Amino acid sequence: MFSEKLARAIDDGRFEETELGLLVPSQRVMVSGRFFYGKRGEELEYSDNLVVTEGLNYLVGVALKGTTAITNWFIAPFSGAITVQATLTAATFTATTTEVTAYASATRPAWTGGSVAAGAVDSFAAKAEIAASSTITIRGAGMISASAKSATTGTLLGASRFGSDKVLDTAEILDIGYGLTVSAV
């Protein structure tokens, strides 16, 4: 019963965007994510992200409805000066955010999560590496299941516009980690 009510609340848009994440008041659940990012050798910054509706539906489906789990996730940097909306999806990510593709890796860098504990998991010990192949500006990132740069398939878990733009010259590296927390409220 809980799973049906949570899934229905998300599908119907009955959740609130808060400073701490997405709150589903009727089910007393908060879902929040956070990106940590920084140029190699500089102090890391963090940016709370929006777990989008597509990501929420995926989480509820896997946890409570038997949806097949996605085992590989990727970090997709973007340069668009956008405000991330709950309606953003994997299909619209590349065009809406202006995905950055001018970096050394042939694909989006893999997200490597640590152990799940206390309702949370993160990749802060194994951050994704974006090594610029030309001068680029990165304004944010998404957590997505398709590995190909500019792919419009897969599932978008969440995305964030960073608090500060990161301009990388050729061969400079931006490290990006991602963590997700689900908590009762």
Q: Which tokens belong to 13?
A: 């848009």
Q: Which tens digit of pLDDT belongs to each residue from 70-118?
A: 999 999 999 999 999 989 999 999 999 999 999 999 999 999 999 999 8
Average pLDDT, the chain: 91
Bridge partner residues of 18 (DSSP): 21
pTM: 0.88
Domain extent, residue 159, equals: 2-184
* Across 6-12, average pLDDT: 73
Lookup result for tokens 């929420």: 56
Q: How many domains does the chain have?
A: 1
Whole-number Å distance between alpha carbons of 142 and 64: 24
Whole-number Å distance between alpha carbons of 103 and 151: 15
pLDDT at 2 exceeding the cut of 60: no
Query: If pLDDT is split at 50, 70 and 90, which confidence band does 1 have?
Result: very low
pLDDT at 32 exceeding the cut of 60: yes
